[in-house]
Amino acid sequence: MIEQTLVLLKPDAVQRGLVGEILSRFERVGLKIVGMKLVQVDAELAKKHYPDALIPIVGGKTKKDWDAYGIKYTESVEDIGKMIINATRKFIQQGPVIAVVLEGLHAPEIVRKLVGTTGPKDSPPGTIRGDFAHLSLGYASTQKKGAANLIHASGNSEEAKKEIELWFKKSELFKYPSVHDVHVLYAPYDL
């Protein structure tokens, strides 16, 4: 099942000079870059990528984090969610982002494994976030700032399709053979 997925190298990844290291991890497992560009995200694109529909989800997760840390608050889940989404939108606009479309077998699933969990502190060593970030989402939320977690990766195939359409025109995506196609996709010899 050949799929495509979207990866965004966020401003912190670009500013820290981690782009090559991160992209090489995807290429080493056989994923192919079929689209890539440097983008300065504006408010409109930030809102489309992080839509208002995420407010109750993010608010609920943040409330659980705050409860677990014993943080006292008076805001509603809705208000907490709005604060986090607005901070996340602001963060992605802080500097250039590298948008990448990767292609390969089970691409969304493989990329998510390589990236680690959304919260860097909970990502195991060997993952991108586990190796290069340590911030907790709970702490970032107490500072009312977007989490510097280096990277966005589509959560699943359906999300990937929508996000790719948001970030790329069809003319910006390429088809070409790679050496991995021979080793992964085809049986060049009979056993």
CA-nearest of 34, 16, 14 to 26 is 34
C-alpha to C-alpha distance for 79 and 152, rounded to whole angstroms:
24
**Widest CA span of the chain, in angstroms?**
67
Strand pairing report for 32-39 and 151-153: unpaired
The catalytic position among 49, 106, 134, 152 is: 152
CA-nearest of 35, 22, 21 to 176 is 35
User: Does the annotation count 152 as an active-site position?
Assistant: yes
Q: Which token pair is 183? A: 């080793």
Q: Which residues are catalytic?
A: 152
